[in-house]
Amino acid sequence: MANDLQTTLSPLAPAQFPEMLPVAGVRFGVGRCGIKASSTKLDLMLAVFDKPAGAAGVLTKSSTAGAPVRWCRKHLANGKARALIVNSGNANVYTGKAGDDAVKAAAKGVAELVNCRPGDVFVASTGVIGETLPIDKVVKALPKLHGKLGAKLAPGRWHDAAVAIMTTDTFPKGASIATEIGGVPVTITGIAKGSGMIAPDMATMLAYVFTDAKIPADVLQALLKSAADKSFNSITVDSDTSTSDTLQLFATGEARHPAIVKPGDPALRAFRQALDAVCLDLAHQVVRDGEGAQKFIEIAVTGAKSARAARCIGLSIANSPLVKTAIAGGDANWGRIVMAVGKSGEAIAETSLDIFVGGHAVAINGAPPAGYDETPVARHMAGRDLKIHVDVGVGRGKATVWTCDLTHGYIEINADYRS
């Protein structure tokens, strides 16, 4: 029911799944093992790397993180991966020792099939919190999924993989870019799920990015951390941080470009931009599929003490229920932006505070501009893609964050989620 409702409400879905470039060295097996009640819904995705891939990851900071997150944290230290197994429909969070046992069983089952150590298998689960994962169903389905891998990645498999990890999502999320390292063509292709930063019952956001580049794990990790801060760590739907948020980057190393040894390598310039763009695209798709979302909102903050302070102010605005409800109602009520800036706790110069909505000044130097006319602001607010810019006048720190509005749809989806 939640899904039908959301499909009706959300006007922000893209027209179609994007064209996804293949990444040499990775293959997918996708299927159904019966965790999701529906007999037609995909709920299991296996990715296998032909040889050990470089692995980097950014995981939730929640202190109630799920068993799969604990497993990934531990094995990311090795910086390599042979496989990835993800189920949807159950988050395997807050499930005690049974949760850890389930992760081990899944990793062991995959390791036997691809002939590697269990620690080279990354595991993720997304769905309801606090219910025991029926791990037998997962393990039983593994040989069939492994048999589907084929010799190389079939074109439609990216789409199926993106669908298999969905929970409250109303559309599968993917992004893909062709770039180069040292003049050698390289591909970056990623998938994500998440209906907002958060739908914690469904234990939220997962994103997997693959590349055929050959990059050491420590460099991969630095590049991914930087991309994550500007994308997934700069979005919010409802301020509720999930127990399972996972972003991983795998590099199969099939591309024959010059060796890379450090994140600052000039040869990585285009790759870095492309990785940032893929992460940002996926992050934006998560916001556009935010529960109940009707509007996509970009909030740029400049003039802050630091980039960190700017992001904090941006997220204070983006997380404010009063800002988000005003936007849902198309109300150019910028006093609420002033409130949200003020509650962030970051340094500002109140007499230099400027606020622009859709490029129109609504406040200059700490007061409404002379002869302020709300007409063009109201026109912008009536649209679907909104831009807010705040300059707080104390420094050169800047950041941009993205969010959606807070609508009746959000309440409806979440007030009776489990029914």
- The residues that touch a second copy, with contacts defined as CB under 8 A, are 61-65, 91, 93-96, 98, 128-131, 198-201, 203, 238-243, 319-322, 325-326, 328-329, 331, 333-336, 338-348, 350-351, 353, 363, 365-368, 406-408, 410-412, 414-419
Q: How far is the CB of 242 from a second copy (least distance, A)?
A: 7
The residue whose two tokens read 């299991």 is 44
Q: Which of 49, 27, 386 is nearest to 250 (CA)?
A: 49
Phi/psi at 103 (5° precision): -60, -45
Using the minimum distance from each CB to a second copy, give the nearer residue, 274 or 353. 353
Q: How far is the CB of 307 from a second copy (least distance, A)?
A: 18
Specify the DSSP class assigned to residue 196.
S
204 is catalytic: yes
CB within 8 Å of 236: residues ≥ 6 apart = 196, 197, 198, 315, 318, 319, 401, 403
Using the minimum distance from each CB to a second copy, give the nearer residue, 143 or 345. 345
CB within 8 Å of 266: residues ≥ 6 apart = none
Query: Is residue 305 within 8 Å of residue 391, measured between CB atoms?
Result: no
Using the minimum distance from each CB to a second copy, give the nearer residue, 62 or 270. 62
Query: Is residue 193 within 8 Å of residue 205, measured between CB atoms?
Result: yes
121 Cα distance to chain centroid: 21
Using the minimum distance from each CB to a second copy, give the nearer residue, 62 or 226. 62
Active-site pick, 204, 211, 246, 403 = 204
Which SS3 state, helix, strand or coil, does residue 46 take?
A: strand
Q: Give the amino acid at 190.
A: G
Specify the DSSP class assigned to residue 291.
T
Q: How far is the CB of 239 from a second copy (least distance, A)?
A: 7
- CA pair distance 169, 149, nearest whole angstrom: 25
Q: How far is the CB of 359 from a second copy (least distance, A)?
A: 19
- CA pair distance 57, 94, nearest whole angstrom: 22
Q: How far is the CB of 394 from a second copy (least distance, A)?
A: 10
Q: Give the amino acid at 394.
A: V
Using the minimum distance from each CB to a second copy, give the nearer residue, 277 or 378. 378
Using the minimum distance from each CB to a second copy, give the nearer residue, 173 or 295. 295
Q: How far is the CB of 159 from a second copy (least distance, A)?
A: 29
Question: Active-site residues: which are they?
Answer: 204
